[in-house]
Structure 1
């Protein structure tokens, strides 16, 4: 394919992404489902060249920034609080699922080597960070369930990648050491964490020295790939390195970023992540043609592999449910014996966790990276795609209903100690204290009376609002509706003046920025 044709194909893919997102919005479907289905249909459009996905390149391009985005947005305090539960899912559930799938595959195909069965288990066992984000964005969960799923999706790729590498090595050498595999996993994880700490600390020092916000935003965007590639270069976990770097950057960004830098950087990063997530699902769909052709065509795939694929998909789901419910039972027993920190999530929470295991780009990339001569490669590749398709289309579209059926509520222990209104009142009181101390000159003369009055009035209003939120909400919404109308009127007048030639471009941009900030503030306050 010519470079120009490749570029045209990329542009066409992004146009298709916009159309599919719009269709998903109109139909009330998760965007991931529309993108996956749309990409699968586009793969068979006559005249469209076959899309051959380079698995290594896909992982390097897409996985680091998406992991960084997840680590940047995750609640660090809750991550620490629920680390045992997250580790149970990210390591224990992956190992258990891998073993169950390997046994099932060997029962279905006794001639297939155990190493190949284990490789399939390692490929399909870790739920995908990208897929999980795409599903979780559309649902509302209690904080504990949310953090368990987010934390699992960040860390379980490391478990799956280590298992996969050992399974492939075992297939090549004919030997497998469980003790060696476990030891290597902890070495890789610890090494990745160290690399992430070093890269994150270096970034914090660099950002504090730079005074150009565009350089800082560029350095932050590159941070994901730097940590991942450095971890892989040093033969440790690039996934853990990226997540660790992201957690450090997330913790310090509140103190090293200016307000303007945060707004501009967040806007750029949000658009980039949106395009990357959408491109991942579209590429997975576009790869269907190659997967089906390798399997001998649709008819051959369904006839020879349909039942085994379905059996493995069902086994995969059952194994996850068994681990989640089994873990919750252990926690219940610990609580019954008086362990204070043992808090089971209940049958509803376990059902949601069990049903939320959606697979995606890592599963496909690992399957595609198998050597051409690997035993059972075609079956593994087709089954991996079937698992992605089944979990995204079935679990991704029904997770909201499962959550509604479970009737989950936020436990009191997981609720924040202060509401947003109370936190805002505390912030306003602190601001008032600063203004009061600076509103007078050294001789005690009031030099900023209007500023002091403004902050006193604001603090009083916020404290009163926090005490009677339900009473003020309707009036608050009406207030900011008027503000938004005033902003819209001001913008129309500003554009009229510019079109009439009465103000220049610089004046237009400056005043328009003020209106934009006022509009964003009103929308945020109204929400």
Structure 2
């Protein structure tokens, strides 16, 4: 009962903090962490103890699957070389840079522990940036690079963490063996994920009930991660690969009902899991500070090293992004590589969009309690997330606007492509009705009018974002008027409940589409 009450209190705290962050326009991750720390310091609240072995297994697979599910595969594949440069190169560079700086500042800390802390804070988190990026428009290539990086950098960071922790606990380091093991982990994890993805595609195709399908996805996520880990492969890469496979084929494998409900389910699940993680790291600081007061100096042993690590993380990302950009341009000058290199303005935004989030928390919480420097790792995770989210997260949107990266040409091209796609879709729908037009003349006529409306809309389309916003705000106004009309009929007793729910469901779908097209 006490555990259930604690969970209710945590969820209530999350809702209050999330609401406050939204109204005050503050970064949610920072608000939740600081709020959790404040809650943990309250009298009568016991220090939170989290089982390290369960943290990754419970939280990580659903978060990875959700990210992969919504990834645009075509953009991911087209920008794979740049994504790998960021996801593997930047993570490794940051890991060892942080390890070197930390070891210089705290010489008594073993090198393996320094590398472990570097691996924890190295991977940026796209989710931490999405709250900012949702309010601005970026070139598609920049978005693809940042989202793709977040899928693969988790694997790179967690594999480095695994080797560093093993070295710290055993005192044995074999670079050649580590390199071979890394290759097996990565390739084996991808292979296992491909097998799991295609196997669960077959299962999902034969499920018509949305509840059963969502439950099957959760089972698939757990099996993909735990199965790969049991075989000593990368559970992270396995889960990401499986999510990419199922997400890419969802349009033909899943029914509309399952897609809509599964999408809502994943959004709610990820919201709760991320929020719980952020608030748990804040709560766990109570134990860290209590132990530090008993055995050491909080300022010298925790605060100053954590601030130094946060500064190193920000600086190293800039160094890597700009140095790798120069190297990429040099390779292109010899005729290798595809596409264009990021512009100076795009590289600046990519370097600044290095906020840390859920994976850093998971990695820190998963450390064995016997590992030397675990408290410093937790404090560093807390500091890096708060600093990057508050400093970089709060200034990213103004930076994008200042650099004028809102690509009006790309937006206009997207609007035009959408108009043409509506026409092609309407033509295909009407063509499919021709063989049965005599049996369903009114339906055939209805889709004919829809085709005409699509053509008129395409030809008269204003390719500006301002017009698009005005259009969908008007659509929302029309939907609200319709909703008020049917509710009035229902309250007057002339419209049955069942018909009200059916009609409102149609309006809800229309409203969801319109709201998704608006950016506050």
The TM-score, its normalising length taken from structure 1, stands at 0.89
Measure, in 2, the Cα distance between the counterparts of 1:522 and 1:126.
36
Equivalence for 2:481: 485
Secondary structure class of the residue paired with 2:293: coil
Secondary structure class of the residue paired with 1:295: helix
Match of 2:309 among 312, 334, 349: 312
Match of 1:511 among 496, 500, 503: 500
Which range moves more in the overlay, 390-399 or 295-304? 295-304
Match of 1:464 among 436, 456, 466: 456
Match of 2:399 among 378, 389, 402: 402
Measure, in 1, the Cα distance between the counterparts of 2:405 and 2:214.
39
How has the CA–CA distance of structure 1 residues 100 and 258 changed in structure 2, closer, same or farther, with 3 Å as cutoff?
same
Which of structures 1 and 2 has the larger relative contact order (alpha carbons within 8 angstroms, sep 6+)? 2
Equivalence for 1:52: 49
Unaligned 5+ segments in structure 2 are: none
Q: How does 1:21-36 map to 2 (within 5 A)?
A: 21-36=18-33
Superposed CA RMSD = 2.7
Q: Aligned pairs, how many?
A: 511
Measure, in 1, the Cα distance between the counterparts of 2:204 and 2:505.
27
Q: Is the contact between residue 137 and residue 406 of structure 2 (CA under 8 Å) also seen in structure 1?
A: no
Q: Is the contact between residue 495 and residue 508 of structure 1 (CA under 8 Å) also seen in structure 2?
A: no
Q: How does 1:126-525 map to 2 (within 5 A)?
A: 126-128=123-125, 130-296=127-293, 300-339=297-336, 341-410=338-407, 419-440=417-438, 447-470=439-462, 478=474, 481-497=477-493, 507-521=496-510, 524=513
Measure, in 2, the Cα distance between the counterparts of 1:460 and 1:439.
17
Measure, in 1, the Cα distance between the counterparts of 2:295 and 2:351.
30
Which range moves more in the overlay, 47-56 or 185-194? 47-56
Secondary structure class of the residue paired with 1:43: helix
Equivalence for 1:117: 114
Measure, in 1, the Cα distance between the counterparts of 2:472 and 2:143.
30
How has the CA–CA distance of structure 1 residues 315 and 478 changed in structure 2, closer, same or farther, with 3 Å as cutoff?
closer
Measure, in 2, the Cα distance between the counterparts of 1:345 and 1:147.
12
Q: Is the contact between residue 67 and residue 243 of structure 1 (CA under 8 Å) also seen in structure 2?
A: yes
Measure, in 1, the Cα distance between the counterparts of 2:350 and 2:121.
17
How has the CA–CA distance of structure 1 residues 475 and 152 changed in structure 2, closer, same or farther, with 3 Å as cutoff?
closer
User: Per-residue displacement from partner, 1:197-231 (whole Å, max 9, x unpaired)?
Assistant: 12111111112223433212211233222211111
Q: Is the contact between residue 133 and residue 397 of structure 2 (CA under 8 Å) also seen in structure 1?
A: no
Q: Cα distance, 1:69 vs. partner?
A: 0.7
Structure ID, larger Rg: 1
Q: Cα distance, 1:342 vs. partner?
A: 4.5
Q: Cα distance, 1:132 vs. partner?
A: 4.3
Q: Is the contact between residue 345 and residue 405 of structure 2 (CA under 8 Å) also seen in structure 1?
A: yes
Q: Is the contact between residue 123 and residue 384 of structure 1 (CA under 8 Å) also seen in structure 2?
A: yes
Q: Is the contact between residue 55 and residue 366 of structure 2 (CA under 8 Å) also seen in structure 1?
A: no
The TM-score, its normalising length taken from structure 2, stands at 0.90
Q: Is the contact between residue 208 and residue 255 of structure 2 (CA under 8 Å) also seen in structure 1?
A: no
Unaligned 5+ segments in structure 1 are: 441-446
Q: Cα distance, 1:33 vs. partner?
A: 2.5
User: Per-residue displacement from partner, 1:368-392 (whole Å, max 9, x unpaired)?
Assistant: 4444443444333322322222222
Q: Is the contact between residue 480 and residue 523 of structure 1 (CA under 8 Å) also seen in structure 2?
A: no
Measure, in 2, the Cα distance between the counterparts of 1:353 and 1:191.
30
Secondary structure class of the residue paired with 1:515: helix
How has the CA–CA distance of structure 1 residues 35 and 509 changed in structure 2, closer, same or farther, with 3 Å as cutoff?
farther
Q: Is the contact between residue 360 and residue 381 of structure 2 (CA under 8 Å) also seen in structure 1?
A: yes
